[in-house]
Chain A
C-alpha cells in the first residue's frame, strides 16, 4: 500500500529561525513529489515539484530535497517569518499513467512561527 509519512506532526519555532520538515514515502513506482503549503481555512498552494532525477529545488526561502534511494524528502525553510505558519503537505505520485488516483497525500506538518 502506498503511504506518505510526515514528521514532525507539529513544530513551533521562533521567527527568523530555520527548520526542516521530513517526508518519507513508500510509493512505487515513484514518479514525482510535491510540497504544498496550506494556510488555516484555505486550500493548499503548491511550493515545489520534484521528479526522480532532481535532488534539490528552491523556491525563495523554501528548499526541497529528494533522495529517491532512501525514499525521503525534506523541506527546509530559511529565516522563518510569521507568514510561514501553516500546514505543509507532502504528496507523492506513483506511476506514469497520469491518473489522479495515483496521488498519495501526507497528513502534513503544522508549523507555527512565534514572534
Chain B
C-alpha cells in the first residue's frame, strides 16, 4: 500500500534561518507531488507541484523553493525565512494524470520567531 512521510512534524525557526522540509512517498511510482500551505482560517494554498524528477511548477511568488531529486522525494526549502512563512505545510501525492491530491502527509507546523 502507498504511504507518505513528512518530517519534521513541528519546527521552530528564527527569522533569517534556512529551511528544509522533506516528503517521501512509498508504494507508487511517478506520482504527482504537491506542497501546500495552510494558514489559520484560510484554505489550502498550492505552493509547488511536480509531475516528475526535476520538474517543478511554482504557483505563487514567495520566499520558498522546491526540488525533486528522486522520483518519490519532494523537498521544500528556503534560504532565509520570513515571519510570514509561518504556517502548516502539507505534502501530498496523486497518481499520474490526476490533479487531485489524493493522499496528504500529516504536515509540518512551522513557527517563525
Decide yes or no whether B43 CB sits under 8 A from chain A: yes
Q: B44, A89: Cβ atoms under 8 Å?
A: yes
The segment out of B14-22, B67-75, B76-84, B100-108 that lies at the interface is B100-108
Contacts of B107 in A (CB 8 A): 41-43
How many A residues have CB within 8 A of the partner chain?
Answer: 24
Q: B99, A98: Cβ atoms under 8 Å?
A: yes
B88 CB → nearest A CB, Å: 8
B99 CB → nearest A CB, Å: 5
Q: A44, B46: Cβ atoms under 8 Å?
A: no
Q: B46, A103: Cβ atoms under 8 Å?
A: yes
Count chain B CB atoms within 10 A of each CB in A4, A100, A104, A105 and give the residue with the most: A100
Bound CA span A44–B98, Å: 17
Decide yes or no whether A83 CB sits under 8 A from chain B: no
Q: B42, A93: Cβ atoms under 8 Å?
A: no
User: For chain A residues 51-91, which have a beta carbon within 8 Å of chain B?
Assistant: 89, 91
Contact status of A93 and B100, CB under 8 A, knowing A42-B106, A43-B92, A100-B32: yes
Contacts of B57 in A (CB 8 A): 100-101
